[in-house]
């Protein structure tokens, strides 16, 4: 492939993946959809879907997965597509799963503040470094406002945001209007550049590291010896 064709190939692949991700997020919101991976193989396409409830995506006897295969082939142009559905390892640390949980709870008319507090507590108990939940819309009156709850350490800018922060957005349709939900989770077990580790050194090792202190008498004797040496050198020069 030449330069322009390579760029076109990757642009088309990225657009296809984004469109597929948005479609699956809307179609399998109740299944706890978490993300998708798209691979091009020599025989066709391979799609890996992650969800909190994989059984809802597969369906009874594989009925849902067969319909999904037909949709991917006809509307997305994925020939010989092979779909694999896997569960999320830790749903409480996946921003999209948590966002859809909040959306489902809001659509059941559960108070937004209670939902946000419960989800924030679950995220932090799962080991997250930090978390932030923002719910916006007509929360208390006809005027739109937002409610923000956060805990721990949140990274907003820098290169580490690309690999240490997981962010997702969801929408809940209620009688009062549309509520927006934003979830930001700082993943654990990833050492950021500003990480500082303090080691506890045993007292006996600290004693070895201390410099030897001299008494006042020893310092005076060393000073007198230095003065005598200087006088002797002056006498020899004369």
User: Quick count: other Cβ atoms within 10 Å of Cβ 61?
Assistant: 8
pLDDT of residue 168: 92
pLDDT of residue 182: 94
User: Is the predicted pLDDT of residue 233 greater than 70, yes or no?
Assistant: no
Mean pLDDT of the chain: 83
Local confidence band at 3 (pLDDT 50, 70, 90 cut-offs): low
Mean pLDDT of 87-91: 89
pLDDT of residue 132: 95
User: Is the predicted pLDDT of residue 46 greater than 80, yes or no?
Assistant: yes
User: Quick count: other Cβ atoms within 10 Å of Cβ 89?
Assistant: 9
The phi and psi torsions of 179 (rounded to 5 degrees) equal -105, 135
Task: Quick: pLDDT tens for 146-171.
Answer: 889 999 988 888 778 888 899 999 98
pLDDT of residue 213: 54
User: Is the predicted pLDDT of residue 208 greater than 90, yes or no?
Assistant: no
Whether the CB-CB separation of 162 and 187 falls below 8 Å is answered with no
Distance CA 98, CA 184 (A): 10
Local confidence band at 220 (pLDDT 50, 70, 90 cut-offs): low
Distance CA 61, CA 234 (A): 106
User: Is the predicted pLDDT of residue 83 greater than 80, yes or no?
Assistant: yes
Domains of the chain (ranges plus CATH)? 3-88 (3.30.300.20), 92-186 (3.30.1140.32)
What are the distances in angstroms from CA 36 to CA 4, 46, 111? 27, 10, 31
Local confidence band at 124 (pLDDT 50, 70, 90 cut-offs): very high
* pTM, two decimal places: 0.73
User: Is the predicted pLDDT of residue 210 greater than 60, yes or no?
Assistant: no
Planar angle of CA 118, 122, 127, nearest 5 degrees? 155
Distance CA 14, CA 64 (A): 25
Mean pLDDT of 190-209: 70
Higher-pLDDT residue of 208, 115: 115
What are the distances in angstroms from CA 229 to CA 11, 101, 111, 130, 183? 82, 85, 88, 67, 76
């Amino acid at each position: 492939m030449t330069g322009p064709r390579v760029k076109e190939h990757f642009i088309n692949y990225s657009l296809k993946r984004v469109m597929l991700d948005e479609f699956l997020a809307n179609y399998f919101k109740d299944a706890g959809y978490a993300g998708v991976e798209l691979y091009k193989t020599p025989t066709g396409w391979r799609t890996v879907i992650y969800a909190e409830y994989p059984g809802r995506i597969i369906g009874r006897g594989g009925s849902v997965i067969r319909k999904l295969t037909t949709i991917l082939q006809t509307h997305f142009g994925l020939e010989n597509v092979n779909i694999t559905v896997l569960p999320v390892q830790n749903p409480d640390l996946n921003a999209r799963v948590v966002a859809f949980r909040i959306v489902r709870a809001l659509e059941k008319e559960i108070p937004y503040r209670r939902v946000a507090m419960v989800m924030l507590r679950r995220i932090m108990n799962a080991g997250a470094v930090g978390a932030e939940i923002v719910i916006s819309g007509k929360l208390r009156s006809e005027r739109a406002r937002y409610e923000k709850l956060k805990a721990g350490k949140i990274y907003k800018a820098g290169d580490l945001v690309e690999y240490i922060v997981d962010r997702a957005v969801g929408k809940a349709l209620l009688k009062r209007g549309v509520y927006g939900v934003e979830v930001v989770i700082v993943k654990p077990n990833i050492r950021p550049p500003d990480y500082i580790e303090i080691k506890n050194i045993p007292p006996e090792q600290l004693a070895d590291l201390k410099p030897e202190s001299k008494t006042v008498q020893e310092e005076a004797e060393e000073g007198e010896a230095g003065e005598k040496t200087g006088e002797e050198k002056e006498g020899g020069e004369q």
